[in-house]
Amino acid sequence: MSFFADLYAAPPALLAHAAVLLVIGPLMAAAAAALAPNARWAWMIAVGGSVFAFWMALGVAGEVARQGVVTYAMGGFAPPRGITFRIDALGAMFALLISAIAVAASLFSGHSLDGEIRPGKRSLFQAGFLLCQAGLLGMSATGDAFNAFVFLEVSSIGTYALIAAGSGRDRRALPAAFNYLIMGTVGATLFVTGVGFLYAATGTLNMADMAQRLATLDDNRAVQAGFAFIVVGLGIKAAMFPLHGWLPGAYAHAPSLMAVFLSATATKAAIYLIVRFAYTVFDPGAAFVAHFMDWIVAPLAGTAIIVCSLQAMFQTELRRMLAYSSVAQVGYILLGVAMGTAAGLTGGLLHLFNHALMKAALFMAVGAMALSVKAVKLTDFSGAARSAPWTMAAFGVASFSLMGVPLTAGFLSKWRLVEAAIGVEWWWAVAVIAVSSLLALVYVGRMLEVMVFRSAVAGGDAIKEAPIGVLIPLWMLAMASVWFGVDASIPEGLARASAAAVLGVR
Amino acid sequence: MSTGEILILLALAVPLFAAAATYGLNKLPDVRETVTVIAGLALITVCAALAMRTGHGTPPQLLVVEPLAGLSLAFRLEPLGAMFALMASVLWAINTLFSIGYMRGRNEAHQTRFYMCFAIAMFAVMGVAMAANLFTLFIFYEVLTLSTYPLVTHKGDEVSRKAGRIYLAILVGASVMLFLPGVIGVHVIAGSTAFVPGGLLAGKIDPVTASALLLLIVFGVAKAALIPVHAWLPKAMVAPTPVSAMLHAVAVVNAGVFTLLKTSSYIFGPNVMSEAPATQWLLWLAAATIVMASLVAMTRDELKARLAWSTIGQLAYVTAGALMAAGAGLVGGGLHMLTHGFGKITLFMCAGAIYVATGVTRVSEMRGLGRRMPVVFVAFLIGALSVTGMPPFAGMWSKFLLITAAFGSGRDVIAWAMIASTILTTLYLIPIAVRGLLPPVGDARPPEFTRPGGAPGLTVAPLVMTAAGTVLLFFLIDEVAAFLIPIAGAAQ
């Protein structure tokens, strides 16, 4: 975090309120975008709102690096009575990640909506996108358990509508959105039920307060049931194997903007809440937390890594391959989280950060290639390297990171995960990561083989190079994967500080 | 920037420049190949300058980046790496001449891609040779695998594509599933992966953990072709002969055994090696590989396949040297890399020259052919004698040193395996040359030249050079051994 300690991103008057402006900014922008006179204005508002949120996230990160925790009481009502925002290193990391991806995604949306959404609906689409962003940022900022549920729903409602909006391009977006609606609502309901149990046991909704009281309630059945409800509910939102059924369809058929944004942020925010609850709200020393992590989360994560990597190998549609790969990567992240050590959590969070960057770049590149041609199947992309070299090169860089090629970000986080697994003597996890790296080599190799070495299908339209407005955010993301693979001090510092903040609270 | 840093950068940049220039000069084959030859000569100069700065005082070193604490991309010369780099650069230059003769003589397609991948492979070899730590070595090891894949599948037919798949599956599979976890294990235990004289892990590891790491690394480095991870090497023989000669007899396989020598000397160190129970098992396996590979080689009629199996056996000598945990074993292994490289590249170039001139690939069809191609067959005899270990050819010294080291460290089994394989080698290599040079029996006629004029001069001259090299090295071996002594010093 040393990089952020010297960072004063905004004047003090603004920094004092940065924690809340982070969420309010996109929320207000959402309202403005809905009222925008045309799509162009809506796009500019979306970019403005996202950039503002990123700016505030940088400000908050600086404050967190200096103070450890930033607390903001809404309306001046002190906790535990009032709703508070409480951002520590973990929250700051997620706020930075989500808002950074949102900036890239909003730039991308200037072009990506053209072929997918009717002009009249684009302002509303941008409003939904900003709403979703506000919800996700709120989840990472809030210090209140019920408030977390509210933000979860805010982001989800935006997401359901936006996935369904993909029906203009691909009718299968409608069942996918419906699927996600049902699964997501079940998940949110389970989550809020769990929060209810905790409220019954502790009489408070403030997370810090709740944590204090839960420390003495390890044997309370209501608490244990609440834990199960919360983790399973969030597990659905995080696409924890085998609760990931909604994800491939949602990623594959949503408008390409949503595939970019969701893959990089939505499941990540749910994982954030899992970490937040499991390690800071509940007593991490409690036997039921440790057992749940060791015997349920970890084996499921391992299964996800292998099974979904295999599924990715056998998909015929490019975006489905990437979606299954995402579920496998969630497995890696949860594997690190389940270890429960600082090293494991650091590795998991680092992988989460890197995976967000690479997967956003991959989906963006695929969306960019599909701008000119209706390309869905993997074979539709054959010959892309010839006709769209710049887009394809960015795809290649990000896919190298996905494979875990040395000197890309993906390599370092897998390295850290293996180290952490050796540290807790989970030899099976080492083997799982080694095998799955090989599987990733196969499925990414298949994509690259088709795109680089095969020539375009005769008679079809050649894939065109993406416009400069798409190439800029795309290459920002791709270069980030390389930069953080060569010098990982920023993400590693964030992940390390987060792990320390989470595990050092008690 | 110091001279050492500049030289390291040049050693990496020259092959890369050659690759880029080759790509750019696609349309001008003469210029393209001139550039490659000049790059080869330049690389020899750079490597010689690097070697001269190694072994006394502060060696040339360069830190490129350090992505995570203790995990850095860095280079640092030491005697074994300097020797490997110099040897590879000399043989690259010679082999480039041979490639020109071979590729033009056979009118092969995709020659630009061929020279480009070759240059990138040399870049990777330089990286492997100069790596300051196991992590850097691993990266360049992988680059070497990937850059040689298009060379193995050069023909592009079904057979070579299948061979290419096996090549990738074994080399990448073993390195990702075994070698990389081994590297990470070293990093976890020691906090870095740097090559430290005397052994990075010395005093930090118990014999059981050391055994586990040693097994991961020895089987993970499939390029060293210890049975049972050897299957890629005979398959790789579908590549054009210059590739087999340079890469699958010298650069790639030597990168494998080089990794094992470096790991033994600088990562584990002799004490850890001698205490780990796995060392003994692996020595048995190396002894078995030495004998079995020689036995299989005897049954192969295809000349290149026979040479490939012979390579597997000879590599196991070096592996055994690395495992012996004795100074003489390490120096002997290092020398064997060098002498075997010169001997085997000669044999492969002869196979290539014979193929270009007559299209013959089988040993049984070569009877009497030496009468038509005396220079090639005499060079073959010299190479075969060197690989067998006869004076006055270089191969004798390294074998001698390895066998005495084996007896000296009380590992008689491995010594007897080496002696047995020497006899077998005599049986499967020498007769090829002798039968070729003797007059044909009865009315059998040696095969005719299918290419007017026989083997092109550019395929014959290089093999004469390397054959002469084996004689030269016989007399220079003292200097080379003295140069390599520091790696044994690290082992005492």
Per-residue pLDDT of B97-144, as tens digits, reads 999 888 888 888 888 888 899 899 999 999 999 999 999 999 999 999
Closest CB from B139, B142, B176 relative to A438: B176
A415 CB within 8 Å of a chain B CB = yes
B149 CB within 8 Å of a chain A CB = no
Residues in A touching B176 (Cβ below 8 Å): 434, 437-438, 441
* A48 — pLDDT class (breaks 50, 70, 90): very high
Q: In angstroms, what separates the C-alpha of A481 from chain B's closest C-alpha?
A: 12
Judge if the upstream peptide bond of residue B391 is cis by omega within 30 degrees of 0. Answer: no
Q: What are phi and psi of B62, to 5 degrees?
A: -155, 130
CA dihedral A81, A87, A90, A93 (to 10 degrees): 150
A442 CB within 8 Å of a chain B CB = no
Three-class DSSP labels, A191-217: HHHHHHHHHHHHCCCEHHHHHHHHCCC
Cβ contact, residue pair B172, A486, below 8 Å: no
In the prediction, which pLDDT does A284 show? 73
A434 CB within 8 Å of a chain B CB = yes
Report the residue of A408, A413, A438, A481 to disrupt the B interface, i.e. the one with the largest count of B CBs within 10 Å: A438
What is the token pair recorded at B432? Answer: 């090829």
A482 CB within 8 Å of a chain B CB = no
Cβ contact, residue pair B67, A419, below 8 Å: no
pTM of the model: 0.88
Neighbours of B354 (CB within 10 A): 28
Q: Which of B348, B339, B295, B296 is nearest to B315 (CA)?
A: B339
DSSP state of A346: H
DSSP state of B292: H
Residues in B touching A486 (Cβ below 8 Å): 65, 67
Give the residue carrying structure tokens 């030597």. Answer: B254
CB proximity list for A6: less than 8 A, separation 6 or greater? A62
Q: Once rounded to an integer, what is the mean pLDDT over residues A212-238?
A: 88
- Please give the residue of chain A at the shortest CA–CA distance from B64: A486
Question: How far is Cα of residue A504 from the mean position of the Cα atoms in its chain?
Answer: 24
Q: What are phi and psi of A86, to 5 degrees?
A: -135, 110
In the prediction, which pLDDT does B178 show? 92
A422 CB within 8 Å of a chain B CB = yes
Residues in B touching A488 (Cβ below 8 Å): 67-68
How far is residue B120's CA from residue B103's CA, in Å, rounded to a whole number? Answer: 18
Closest CB from B67, B135, B177 relative to A485: B67
Q: Helices (DSSP H) in B25-110: which residue ranges?
A: 29-52, 79-105
- Please give the residue of chain B at the shortest CA–CA distance from A486: B67
Q: Is A38 exposed, middle or buried (0-12, 13-18, 19+ CB in 10 A)?
A: exposed
A379 CB within 8 Å of a chain B CB = no
Cβ contact, residue pair A441, B65, below 8 Å: no
How far is residue B208's CA from residue B210's CA, in Å, rounded to a whole number? Answer: 5
In the prediction, which pLDDT does B491 show? 46
Q: Helices (DSSP H) in A378-467: which residue ranges?
A: 384-387, 389-403, 409-423, 427-448
Cβ contact, residue pair B184, A419, below 8 Å: yes
What is the token pair recorded at B469? Answer: 């090299």
B57 CB within 8 Å of a chain A CB = no
CA distance to B105, B301, B368, B437, per residue, from B372 (Å): 18, 21, 8, 9
Q: Which of B18, B222, B5, B3 is nearest to B130 (CA)?
A: B5
Q: In angstroms, what separates the C-alpha of A486 from chain B's closest C-alpha?
A: 5
B172 CB within 8 Å of a chain A CB = yes
Neighbours of A455 (CB within 10 A): 9
What is the percent of chain A with per-residue pLDDT over 90, rounded to a whole number?
43
Cβ contact, residue pair A435, B177, below 8 Å: yes
Q: Is A272 exposed, middle or buried (0-12, 13-18, 19+ CB in 10 A)?
A: buried
Give the residue carrying structure tokens 């030496």. Answer: B370
Residues in B touching A492 (Cβ below 8 Å): 68
> Which residue type occupies B339?
T
Closest CB from A406, A419, A434 relative to B188: A419
**If residue A93 lies in a helix (H) or strand (E), which one and from where to where?**
helix A89-112
The residues that bridge with B391 in the sheet, in sequence order, are none
Q: Using one digit for the tens of pLDDT, what is the confidence trace for A361-413?
A: 999 999 888 887 777 788 888 878 888 888 899 999 999 999 888 889 999 99
The residues that bridge with B62 in the sheet, in sequence order, are B75
Q: Which of B308, B231, B236, B12 is nearest to B131 (CA)?
A: B12
Residues of chain B with pLDDT under 70: 442-444, 489-492
Cβ contact, residue pair A422, B67, below 8 Å: no
Cα of first residue to Cα of last residue in chain B, in angstroms, is 34
DSSP state of B425: H
Angle at A171 between CA A166 and CA A176, to 5 degrees: 70
How far is residue A231's CA from residue A337's CA, in Å, rounded to a whole number? Answer: 13
Q: In angstroms, what separates the C-alpha of B66 from chain A's closest C-alpha?
A: 7
Cβ contact, residue pair B176, A441, below 8 Å: yes
Instruction: State yes or no: ipTM above 0.90.
Output: no
- Please give the residue of chain A at the shortest CA–CA distance from B165: A442
Q: Once rounded to an integer, what is the mean pLDDT over residues A199-228?
A: 87
Q: In angstroms, what separates the C-alpha of B178 from chain A's closest C-alpha?
A: 8
Cβ contact, residue pair A438, B185, below 8 Å: no
CB interface of A with B, residues 201-220, below 8 Å: none
Closest CB from A423, A434, A486 relative to B176: A434
How far is residue B387's CA from residue A199's CA, in Å, rounded to a whole number? Answer: 80
Residues in A touching B110 (Cβ below 8 Å): none
What is the token pair recorded at B455? Answer: 């083997």
Neighbours of A71 (CB within 10 A): 15
Q: What are phi and psi of B448, to 5 degrees?
A: -80, 160
Cβ contact, residue pair B172, A434, below 8 Å: no
Residues in B touching A487 (Cβ below 8 Å): 65-67
Cβ contact, residue pair B185, A422, below 8 Å: yes
Cβ contact, residue pair A416, B185, below 8 Å: no
Q: What are phi and psi of B75, to 5 degrees?
A: -125, 145
Q: Using one digit for the tens of pLDDT, what is the confidence trace for B340-349?
A: 999 999 999 9
Cβ contact, residue pair B177, A438, below 8 Å: yes
How far is residue A435's CA from residue A438's CA, in Å, rounded to a whole number? Answer: 5
Residues in B touching A413 (Cβ below 8 Å): none
Residues in A touching B180 (Cβ below 8 Å): 434, 437
Q: Identify whether the C-beta of residue B10 lies closer than 8 Å to the C-beta of residue B114.
A: no
How far is residue B97's CA from residue B460's CA, in Å, rounded to a whole number? Answer: 10
In the prediction, which pLDDT does A460 show? 65
Q: In angstroms, what separates the C-alpha of B39 from chain A's closest C-alpha?
A: 27
B188 CB within 8 Å of a chain A CB = yes
- Please give the residue of chain A at the shortest CA–CA distance from B141: A406
Least confidently predicted of A165-174, A497-506, B172-181, B288-297: A497-506
Q: Which of A503, A497, A499, A422 is nearest to A68 (CA)?
A: A497
In the prediction, which pLDDT does B443 show? 66
Q: In angstroms, what separates the C-alpha of B185 from chain A's closest C-alpha?
A: 7
B1 CB within 8 Å of a chain A CB = no
Cβ contact, residue pair B67, A486, below 8 Å: yes
Residues in B touching A415 (Cβ below 8 Å): 68, 71, 184
